[in-house]
Every structure is written in structure tokens, then in C-alpha cells.
A and B are shown apart, each in its own frame.
Chain A
Amino acid sequence: MPTITYIQNDGTAHQVSLPMGATIMEGAVQNDVKGIVAECGGSCMCATCHVYIDEQFLDLLPEMEEEEAEMLEGASAEIKPNSRLGCQVRVSPKLDGIIVRIPEKQ
């Protein structure tokens, strides 16, 4: 099971092991990482699962689909080149060790 490190906006880090195929959003919400809201439950409909992905892992992520890109535009916090919607990124073995930062607001 790949391990993800979530870093909350207040600096608190959580290490979570996720089953294959789970999304970064699910891992955060189910394990009580603060700062990911995920109102729509992963339907790519709310942009409240915005995260910043550690630069090192950016190239290993699945490509962003058009709908994610559009939805992301509406996120509340600053959108950076390493912004993604957590519900659209599924974990795979190559993402083991990935570090994900949570923005100050959703």
C-alpha cells in the first residue's frame, strides 16, 4: 500500500497508507486530515479537495483531464502549477512516498 504524507496548512503532517486505487482526497477525508472538504464526494463537482503536489512527483501523476482543469480554476486558494484536485488523483505504486500539501482554504 503506497504511503502518502499530507501536510496540513498549520504544518501538521499525517502519514497514511492507502489501498491501491484510492484517491488522494479519500485518503485525507477518511483519515481526518484537516483542510480537505470534498463536498461532492469525489465527483469532480466542487473543487474543495484542492491540494499542492510535491514537485518531485508531479511528472508521475496521471494527466489532468479537461474537467479537472476547469474545476480547479474555481478553487478558493491560490492555484499553482502543482495544484490538483485530490479526488482525481489515484494512488499507484510509483506514487509511494508522495508529499501533498493542503491549501489554507477550500
Chain B
Amino acid sequence: MSKKVVIIGAGHGGIQVVASLREEGFDGEIVLIASEKEMPYQKPPLSKGFLQGKQSEEAILFRAATYYENNNIHLRLGEEVQQIKVSEKRVVTSSGETISFSHLILATGANNRKLVFNGTEAPNILYLRTLNDAQVIAQRLESSQHIAIIGGGFIGLELAALAAEKGKQVTVIEAQTRLMERVLPAVISTTFQQTHEHNGVRICLNSHIEQISNEGIQTKEGFIQADLILAGIGVIPASSLAQEAGIVCENGVVVNEFQQTSVPYIYAIGDCANHYNVFAGKNIRLESVQNAVDQAKVAVNHILEQPQAYRAVPWFWTNQYHLKLQMVGISAGFDEYVLRGEIGSDKFSVYYFKNKQLIAVDSLNRAADHLNARKLITAGISPTKTQIEDLAFNLNDCL
């Protein structure tokens, strides 16, 4: 029987599946089901170029509409999969239709975690995940002057930066002791905090919210006036569909090194997939373009019977003001770090070691270091401290 691949979700993972299948010469049927009604678009620019007004809706599309026609992809926009019938190999969509598959790929991403007080969702807060969210935020940004942002993670801080650049009064409220604490070491948090403060953003750390009203936010430490409240406080993997179908879920959909779920012909990739990551040394979920794209390729290769286990080095980036931070590897658990360039300048990289092995590199405005580090970490090569510190030394020579 010929293969028919159905993909749920047209984000970074879903689109890469489609592209890779056709690039690899797959000529079977492909159905791409997307709950959003817009032509599939990329999410990272939403909190960057799009809300800055530098990138249009057109510019952030993955593909022109003709791509789907030319490549014979059945793109079903504005339709949500509501049920997976595992043993029948069918999905049921919101339009009431039943679609059969030989292979199913869950690329459903994640949903924003909502702020909850005493069991009820806090009102008046906007969250950013979709183009529609971004359009609403764009309008509200126009008409607001005092903007409070709950959460000092990547999305919250990118929003803070672009609001500050629009001349708004911005306050960031973070419960932890420093910015982006979950993934970045103190040296980098400090550089970002200073840059935000320099741009007029007020940063409240160790801050605890007590109440939210139409006028603003009451924290233990004081009142913060706000006519617009945005929050970026993490995500919840979109795995309920899988869970209801009896597929094993735990912090997302659990997959093996080929992206297969507990049902061998159903795969999960991207933000929703809980996988064993060799670079983390444990099971994790990653929320990044890299992870969605690379896992899509792994799933496709497995479907096409040319299996290759997932082993891609994680990387990620964030843009705030003139600061471009690129991260590769997973730095958690490092026991030593070496600097290339000077802290306090806007251009340096931090090389993290664990048991003398290079495990991660964060590069601030040093793109060449980042690209080189991806190769070093993939190859398992650790340059010496002297080589790293010597700006005249070309680290590509280590490869």
C-alpha cells in the first residue's frame, strides 16, 4: 500500500516535514492540517521584525501559496484535528471530516501558559504566540503608553525592547533573581539588564504579583501603573490530542530517537515532543526552530526507511536592541567557563566546559564564534583556554 502522510500543525516542524518529504522524492499523498486560518508563517519574527514594523505579514510566510499547489500538498487551513483514531489510522477534524493516513505527524507546538490567581485566569493580559496575537498587540501598543511585561524570558524581553524603542514606558516584572535565568548564566543576564535599563526599561527582579487591575499591577514591592499588560511566562506542550488517543505523554508527547511515539506510525516533533537529548543527557523538550526543523527531518527519514537518529546540537537566538545573542549546546551543569572578548563590551562569547569538555557557547554579537562553535560541539572538539582567549587565533583551525 502506498504511503500517505498526514501532518497536524503547520509551524516550523510541519512545514519542514512537507518540504523534506518532497525534496527526498516522496510522491505519495501529503495532507497538512492547520488550525490557524492564515497561510503558514514563522513565529520568531513576531516578537522581532513584525512587531517592530520591519517585516510584513508577507515577509514572514514560510512559502508562497503556489508552493503548496505546485508540490501537491493538501493544505487545510482553519481546520483543527479533534481526534486521532489510532487503530483505524484516521483523524477527525473540526469540519467533521475523517482523514486516513499511513503515517501521522504531530507538530502541534505549544500554547502559552496563562497567569492564574486563585484558580481563575487573570484578565486584561495579552500573550504572544500567533500572528493574530501579534496583530492585537501591535494595535494596543500604538494606543498605550505604560507597558508592563510579566516574565523576563526571551519573548518578554524582546517585547520590552521593541516597546522601549517605540518610546513607551516599560516595566519588566520577573520572579527570579535575574533575567533569562533558566537558560543563561549571570554574566549574560547582567549585560542584557544593563542594556534594557540604559534604554529606559525598569526591571523588577524577585518580584511577586499580588493583584492585577485595570490600572496596573500590584506587587509585594509596590504598584506598577500599566495600560497594557503583556506576559511571557512559558508554554504548555500541545499534547492533549495525543493523550486522549492513549499515546504516552509526559511533559509533551514522549518520542524515541526517530521521533516515534508509543504508536510506531505516529510521530511527534518540535515544541510538543519530549525526547532524549544527547547534549542535555536527559529527556527534555526544546522550544526552538532548530529542534523543530531537525526533528522533522528525522521523522521524514524514518518514514522513508532511511533512519537516522536525532542527534543535532541545539541552538537558539534572541535579538534585543543591538544585541544579538546566539546560543549553542546546553550550558546547564557547566563547571568552568572561558571568555572570548570582554564582558562589558557588546561583543563577547562565553565557552562553557564540563569535565574539560566544551558543552555550550553563548555568543553576543559574535556570529562567527557561534557558527564555529556549532561545528566544534557537533564534532566533540574542545579548544584550549589560551586558544579561546586569543582573539587573533582562528578557532576554525581546531576543526
Contact = CB atoms under 8 A, between A and B. Distances in A.
Co-complex (A, B):
yes
Interface of A: 19, 21-23, 26, 29-32, 34, 39-45, 47, 67, 70-71, 73-74
Q: From A19, A34, A45, name the one whose CB has the most chain B CB atoms within 10 angstroms.
A: A45
Nearest to B373: A74
B136 to A, nearest CB: 22
Interface of B: 23, 42, 44-45, 48-49, 55-56, 58-64, 66-67, 70-71, 289-290, 293, 317, 319, 324, 326, 365-368, 370-372
A37 to B, nearest CB: 9
A71 B371 CA distance: 8
Nearest to B63: A30
A58 to B, nearest CB: 22
Contact of A31 (B23, B45, B67, B365): B67
A43 B70 contact: no
Q: From B317, B367, B370, name the one whose CB has the most chain A CB atoms within 10 angstroms.
A: B367
B350 to A, nearest CB: 17
B366 A70 contact: yes
A74 B64 contact: no
A contact patch SS = loop
A30 B371 contact: no
Contacts of B48: 43
Nearest to A31: B64
A47 B371 contact: yes
Given A41-B42, A41-B44, A34 B23 contact: yes
B67 A32 contact: yes
Q: From B23, B48, B366, B370, name the one whose CB has the most chain A CB atoms within 10 angstroms.
A: B370
Contacts of A74: 367-368, 370-372
B134 to A, nearest CB: 14
A73 B368 CA distance: 7
A45 B70 contact: no
A19 B55 CA distance: 13
Nearest to A68: B367
Contacts of A21: 56
Nearest to B55: A42
Contacts of A43: 44-45, 48-49, 317, 319
Nearest to A23: B59
A67 B23 contact: no
A32 B63 contact: yes
Given A41-B42, A42-B45, A44-B367, 18 more contacts: A22-B59, A23-B59, A29-B62, A30-B63, A31-B66, A32-B63, A39-B293, A40-B44, A40-B289, A43-B48, A43-B49, A44-B324, A45-B367, A67-B324, A67-B365, A70-B366, A73-B368, A74-B371
Contacts of B326: 45
Nearest to A71: B367
A24 to B, nearest CB: 12
B290 A30 contact: no
B368 A26 contact: no
Given A41-B44, A42-B45, A45-B324, A30 B60 contact: no
Contacts of A32: 63-64, 66-67, 70-71
Nearest to A25: B59
Given A45-B317, A73-B368, A19 B290 contact: no
Contact of B67 (A26, A30, A71): A30
A81 B39 CA distance: 37
Nearest to B71: A32
